[in-house]
Amino acid sequence: MIRIIGGGLAGCEAAWQAARRGVRVTLHEMRPSTPTAVHHTDGLAELVCSNSFRGDKLDNAVGLLKEEMRRLDSLILAMAESTRVPAGAALAVDREQFSRAVTAAVESHPLINVVRGEVTAIPDATPADPVILATGPLTSPALSAEIVRLVGREHLAFYDAISPIVLAESIDRSIVFRASRWDRSFRGEGAAEPAGPACGVDDGQGDYLNCPLSKSDYDAFYDALAGAESATVHDFDTATFFEGCLPIEVMAHRGRDTLRFGPMKPVGLTDPRTGRFPYAAVQLRQDTLAGDHFSLVGFQTQLKWGEQARVLRMIPGLAQAEFVRFGMVHRNTFINGPTVLEDTWQVRGRPGLYFAGQVSGVEGYVESAASGLAAGMSAACAALGQTFVPPPRTTALGALGFYVSHADPSTYQPTNITFGIMEALPNPPRGRVERKTAVSMRALSDLEQWRQAQD
């Protein structure tokens, strides 16, 4: 039997992968009896910030990783597809329906037993009875202390921040306009790879509401933002944020135009009333299937809630905005993967003990679920007395496992999947898109060979 601690994206995917190989699983989830600072429900696989699983095409790395997961019968991907909402070239979901679907699938599986309650000590693990720690960036303090004892060094911690969500009916439709950047839509060809950040800019193209700002609107907004009061971390120089998820006020402190080249980038967004790009723009992405909530794309923030309402209502179209959720800052807990893990996601020198998800040192919903998939397969092999050979580094899944276990530990930061951490092609085609697509084609072919050898 496998014990999995944490019923998030990684834990649920790991449980599913083990169970579909015929291995019995006990999945421990501490909510609702022990809450976290950012989860709101008792549902498994709750998405705590964006509702997007990012780009979904084979010329971007996260699109490839998702395709690999689909081919390995990922639960998270199947449930995401079934609760999909329009989001340009991205895969975005109705967060409540998604969590409910995952919860129902896991709870009704005959080989998975879900146990509610906090686990405060790391259970004994052996190859026959493996344990997977998948407790996420908000691992409870008691278990965090145990993990510190296990890995023999302090956790690294940095801050991350989440975006506000507004009620759709409170958006002024006479001011905002619906447009895709460069007119690309979900089915459209040639949509570019999102520029990396999980919470950041242009996360998929199309299906967005856009708030246009003139220069004077932008100047007034910038001045208000730069002078607004933050809730928690005041010291912008010493607080460590994941670069892809910087709070807007931190970006504002880097320079007057930083936001105009970041989440308020106007290029490619033609305002139908002027026929031109505005001076700056704020994009709103649909957050629920019913279309009643919209999130401010790339607008993660740690401003005090009163200050958020005051400053964000200066954005044209949001003067009367009602906030369903304000942005906030959170702590992110993760181990230094390269000093702790093998590329099988097993702890070095501790057969039967595994890490998966954000706590293992990956970054993002898809990457967390992917690591759960690999760790679940790996632990199931151990429980069945089989040898797990990790996927090749030419695949996105294999590259992620290799990065987590082999990157430079002295400068280690959790990573999103990128083509940069995958093995380069010996003779790459010339064009950027052609090169990325060729890497993806090789990956899918190698994944298929690996899968057949693994079965």
Ligand X SMILES: Cc1cc2nc3c(=O)[nH]c(=O)nc-3n(C[C@H](O)[C@H](O)[C@H](O)COP(=O)(O)OP(=O)(O)OC[C@H]3O[C@@H](n4cnc5c(N)ncnc54)[C@H](O)[C@@H]3O)c2cc1C
Rounded CA separation 209/188 (Å):
18
- In whole angstroms, how far apart are CA 100 and each of 43, 96, 106? 6, 6, 10
298 is a site residue for ligand X (CB under 6 A):
no
Q: Would strands 165-167 and 293-296 be described as parallel, antiparallel, or unpaired?
A: antiparallel
Half-sphere exposure for 423 (CA within 13 Å, toward CB): 16
29 is a site residue for ligand X (CB under 6 A):
yes
Nearest to ligand X of 287, 446 (CB atom): 287
Stretch of 32-40, 204-212, 378-386, 422-430 contacting ligand X, by CB under 6 A: 32-40
Q: How far is the CB of 272 from ligand X (least distance, A)?
A: 30
Rounded CA separation 122/128 (Å):
16
Instruction: Among 7, 164, 194, 298, indicate the residue that binds ligand X (CB under 6 A).
Output: 7
194 is a site residue for ligand X (CB under 6 A):
no
Nearest to ligand X of 10, 340 (CB atom): 10
Instruction: Among 60, 83, 140, 295, indicate the residue that binds ligand X (CB under 6 A).
Output: 140
Rounded CA separation 61/68 (Å):
11
Q: How far is the CB of 248 from ligand X (least distance, A)?
A: 15
Decide if 155 contacts 238 (C-beta within 8 A). Answer: no
375 is a site residue for ligand X (CB under 6 A):
no
> Between 337 and 366, how does the x/- string for binding to ligand X read (CB under 6 A)?
--------------------xxx----xx-
Exposure string of 268-304, with b = 16+ CB inside 10 Å and e = fewer, is bbbbeeeeeebbbbbbbbbbbbeeebbbbbbbbbbbe
Decide if 184 contacts 206 (C-beta within 8 A). Answer: yes
- In whole angstroms, how far apart are CA 294 and each of 41, 44, 50, 283? 19, 23, 10, 9
Nearest to ligand X of 39, 184 (CB atom): 39
Instruction: Among 3, 4, 8, 370, indicate the residue that binds ligand X (CB under 6 A).
Output: 8
Check the CA dihedral 23-28-32-33 and report its sign.
positive
10 is a site residue for ligand X (CB under 6 A):
yes
146 is a site residue for ligand X (CB under 6 A):
no
Q: How far is the CB of 64 from ligand X (least distance, A)?
A: 16
270 is a site residue for ligand X (CB under 6 A):
no
Give the 3-state secondary structure of residue 431.
coil
Residues found near ligand X in the complex (CB under 6 A): 5-11, 28-31, 36, 38-39, 48-50, 118-119, 134-140, 143, 160, 162, 198-199, 330, 357-359, 364-365, 368
